[in-house]
Every structure is written in structure tokens, then in C-alpha cells.
Structure 1
Amino acid sequence: MVNSNELYELPRPTLSKVVHIGGLGVEYEDAKPLQGEFKQIADSGKGVVVMSFGSVAHAEMMPEQWKTAFLNAFAQYPEHEFVIKYANDDLKHRLPPNVHTYRWLPQADLLLHPSTKAFISHGGYNSIQESINFGVPLITIPLFGDQFKNSKIAAKHGFAVNLKKGTLDEASIAAALKEVLNNETNIKEF
């Protein structure tokens, strides 16, 4: 058994005994309706953009210029709410009114919500699988390992916009948001 999705992966030779069980650990049924503050945020505005870099790469460790670039780009979309997994309080006094940081996110619950319009991620395999399962387009910023390959494949299939960490700035983030938020293509058709 291989934790990959043969409809998503690039073609490769395998043996007949190989069974693709892609999305193992990403269960649609595990996602619950949002409650409390998260529901209130999701139900306001034109939609929600979720940002999380997984359990290994922490957003609070990103370079200061990235933090500024993200906040400035998010401020250009005041009609959307941005929910970020971010464990520090250093941004608290700089946050635009439409940006919300939390030490923990009910990620699957947020991605399931119909008002979630995009998912900004590092492009880890589980994040890609969640994006596919919940039908949410991605903006990926691959950082290391298989994230570069995963991100390229997601873009090839048309449900992701990839940004390069070496050239990440306010303009590239805003352009990616514009492309994803204004795209009429529905990932659920994938």
C-alpha cells in the first residue's frame, strides 16, 4: 500500500501488488461544522483564506520581510478574512482587521466550510490531500523535501498557484491571491 493518489501523482511504473490509498489520515468525515469564533469569522465577509505551514515549519519562524509581505498583501483584500496558524504574539499590534492568528487551527473544519476560498500552505503531502478532499484551491510556498514536487504537481493539475520562497514578496502574494480568488475554475471538478 502506498499513501498516494494515483489520479493526482505523476504516472510511474508500479507492480500489480501496489495499492494506492492516497489521503490516508485525511478523512472528510472527521471535519466538523465550525463553531464559536471560527464560525463567526467564516460567516463574515466574501470568504476565508486559511494559512498554515504544517506541523514542522512554523509561520512564526519566517523572515520578517515575509511577515510584512503577507500582512500587506492580505490588507489588499479587506473583504476576505485570513486565518493564520501562528504561535507568537509579535504580530498582534500589526494585524490588519481582516487577519486573525491562532496557535492552533481546526484546519479540516475550516477547509470544509463553504466560505473557504483558498489555502496557503507549504505544499506538504497531507495539505495537498486535504486541499483535494475539501475542494479548496492552494497557494503553495514549498520550503523543503517533497513540497517542491507536490506543489508542481498541484499546479500542473490546475488547483494551485506556486510561489518561490526566494522571490516571495507582497506583489507575488497579492497576485497569487488575485488569481486564486478570482478564478472561476472549480477544484471540486478535479
Structure 2
Amino acid sequence: MRVDWVPYSASGLVVGAAGLSVGALLMPQPGDPASPLGMGAGEDDRWLAISVLYLLAAVGLAVGLPAVTSIFDRRGARWALVGVGTLAVGILGAAAYAVLMSVLRALVVGGVPLAGGVGGLAEDAWLAVLLHGWVSVFAVGEVLIAMALLQARRVSRWVPALMLAHAGLTPLAPMMPVALAAVTALTATMAFAGLGIAANRRSLPPIL
């Protein structure tokens, strides 16, 4: 018996996007991926929550990438493959970020002395480039997939529109009010949920 994997992959896409948005909402400075490095030792539970959510997001989105590719036939397929590959790199960055958060939490809880304190890590230029880099790559992947969706015309236009909005507004999130930054984070969940629904619908047999 043939097992249809698309619904499971689409579900992972939605769960992963939700985890990414909730993790972003827990940031003390919305949209700034380096901000949790400045948390104090008394906020180790928040560190743990963010790391778990970002790890869940990375796993869910990775599982959901095949569902994204299933939406396309010929039109837009090339852009889609490039976008999915780029998004996969951003997803790996999210997983690495989750691991980094867990390690830092373990160091703080264990009382391991750090030169300059945990807050000093946020001032390291190379670490800041690494942390901001995966967010930028993720946003580029969103833009490429949105372009492929507009070319393929396989989903409603609001799906690529939300992806483009999230990719464009993410760099501005640290300067936004908390409420607006929260809305920006939720646009990713809505966009990927739309992708998951579209992929699931295409996998269903035709109704006679």
C-alpha cells in the first residue's frame, strides 16, 4: 500500500514555522538573534524555552521542505529548488543557534566563569555575524520561494505576499514596537501554514 508522505511533511512545516514564531516572540528584543546572549543567569528557563523552540522549528521545517517542492511542476521549479536549498541552510543555522543557546545555558547554570560574562559574548563581532547570518539566509530563502510561487501560480497570492513581508520586515524588527514585531513573527507561521495546506490539497485524490 502506498503511503502518502505529503500530509506528514506539510504538518512538519506548520509546526516548525509555529515554533520559529513563538521562539522569536520570547526574544527580549524582538527580531534580534543575538539578544538572548545578554540574558542573566536568572533567566535560564527562558534560554531553555528558546533553544527548545528553535530546535523544534529546525526539525519541523526540515521535515516540511519536501512538501514545499511537491507544490511545483515545471513552472517555477528551478527557483523553488534554489529557494529550498537556501532555506535549508537557514534551517541548519537555526538548529546551530538552538544548540548554542543550550550550551550557554549549561555554562551559566553550572557556574562556569566566562571572560567578560555572558553579555560580553554579544559584543563578539564574528559571533554576531554568525547569528545574524542564518537569519539573513533564511530570509533570502523565503524570497526565492515566494518568487517561485508567484511564477508557478500554485497557491493563493497571500502566501508569497506574507513570505515577502516577513523577509523584508525581519531586519527592521528590533526597531519596531513589541506588538508590530509580534505580528511580523506570526506572518511566517501563516505563510508556511498556507504552503502546507496547498501541498496537502495537491496530494489529495480528485473527487469523482
* TM-score where L is the length of structure 2: 0.26
Q: Whose relative contact order is higher, 1 or 2, with alpha carbons under 8 Å and at least 6 apart? A: 2
User: More helix by proportion, 1 or 2?
Assistant: 2
Structure exhibiting the larger radius of gyration computed from Cα positions: 2
User: More strand by proportion, 1 or 2?
Assistant: 1
